[in-house]
Structure 1
């Protein structure tokens, strides 16, 4: 992979125009310490609802893709978000206290296929950790043996367009989608869904991820009341169309790869990251 000479990334973590103290608060992955009593067909997310949600933005053009915080130094996103990263300058912005970070590396899966969208996953390493607080928490990465069963109700979140060919959302959107069986989805997509892919949505249409949601999280609430990263927004035919559900990178197929890559240590590249958290 060709990595651009200098990349900055804007990290927006679910909240705008609020003032909170940034202090170390970590109660385990997949938790939402702050809970208050468009994705196509979604609704506005409340502040702090999805504390692992990240927005990757071009400096001049704004939001490009989503990502998820999985550890204090690591983000997970979709590989296709970085196909043309050599022509992009990304800016990372959060909401709270600004700080500058260096990005050590952007790792695309070596088997990523841009024509089939297979192995559509990327890792972004920060040279310095972010601080966990009420609004910044990592999502849980599931074990490779974990099963997200068909019919399970999960959530997809992002700042993507609110309708096919529509405008980007100004507020983080959330929507409930159901896991669809691999066989059922493959019939609808003429066997284009590989074992590394997971389908979720509504077969009747009306609710779906769309352009700008790519790389963002599909999360499911599991026993123990923790949220697990089941999928990464990858591709689909149109948005919220009947018999065309969203297709996600199936995270359990990459659990070992994520752990292997995040444990390795390499020298930092000359990439910069501005973080406001």
Structure 2
């Protein structure tokens, strides 16, 4: 009997120690990091899919129980997204979901969490037709706990050189433009950044025409055959590994618009987060939020 109790106490102590260690890891979480232990969870991950908790800032934006796009968690209770996904919707009908992997499936090993939106702030100069000033903030009714599968993304501290850079988009959007349904499992899309002058020249060869001018505040990525973000990914983050630590990511763009999907030499456009960072910070201050990230 004594040996049995000794074993029970030992297991209890080990369990407490492991929990304390996990809590310390969570408390020490910094923006832009995925959790290396979470990807060890046994799931059938195929090519083109993200691993569970690989990009834990990825948010599903939901309107009346239907996915309308993506977003990114920039503080525990603020989501950055694209205005064009929500500008014509009532705030009380919007919910955001964090910690998703297979969208809409509350897996026992990998549950997600939801929060209601108290307020949405859309850039006052947002232009739907041109995709200009296409960003919005969602202020949530609660803070998401930062865990092994929910974390914030870093915002850029300086203008990044976009030459020879590849970055990532994660989302539940369509695999093909002609698809009738969004994807189930979170996609991982590795894309080249395209300089603005090259992007504008390539877009002028599409239905946009030779006189098309790329609006200020947009950057471009993609242009590779069969490799692109697509419908339903709008509002999600375009994020890049940091030079100092490639395991840490910063968000440089917001999925904006494209001419179709996955066409060679037809890059898609993204709202330039660095360009609009002063606006983001100002809106947070005006709404009495003082996150530690800024």
Whether TM-score is above 0.5 comes out as yes
Q: How does 1:154-193 map to 2 (within 5 A)?
A: 154-166=167-179, 167-190=181-204, 191-193=212-214
Q: Deviations over 1:44-97 (max 9, x none)?
A: 11101000000112334x211000000112100000011221398333344567
Q: With structure 1 as the length reference, what TM-score do the two structures score? A: 0.79
* Corresponding position: 1:199 with 2:223: no
The answer for the alignment partner of 1:239 in structure 2 is: 261
1:108 is the counterpart of 2:128:
no
What is residue 94 of structure 2 aligned with on the other side?
90
**CA RMSD after TM alignment:** 2.6
The answer to whether the 8 Å contact 2:61/2:67 transfers is: yes
After superposition, the Cα gap between the structure-2 partners of 1:197 and 1:132, relative to the gap in structure 1 and judged at 3 Å, is same
How far apart, CA to CA, are the structure 1 residues paired with 2:166 and 2:194? 10
Change (3 A) 1:77 1:152: same
List per-residue Cα deviations over 1:190-225 (Å, max 9, x = no partner). Answer: 3432220010013x4221111000000110001232
Q: Does 1:129 align with 2:143?
A: yes
2:276 is aligned to: 254
Q: Where does the alignment leave 5 or more consecutive residues of structure 2 unmatched?
A: 1-18, 41-46, 100-109, 205-211, 290-294
Match of 1:208 in 2: 228
- Are residues 99 and 187 of structure 1, via their aligned partners in 2, closer, same or farther at CA, if it must alter by over 3 Å? closer
What SS does structure 2 have at the residue aligned with 1:70? strand
Paired residues of 1:116 and 1:192 also in contact (CA < 8 A): no
Which ranges of 4 or more aligned residues in structure 1 deviate by more than 6 Å? 96-100
How many residue pairs get aligned? The number is: 241
- Residue equivalent to 2:207: none
CA–CA distance in structure 2, aligned partners of residues 94 and 156 of structure 1: 16
Which structure features the higher share of strand residues?
Answer: 1
Show the counterpart of 2:166: 153
What is the CA deviation profile of residues 3-42 of structure 1, one whole-angstrom value per residue up to 9, with x for unaligned ones? xxxxxxxxxxxxxxxxx9x9653421111123537xxxx7
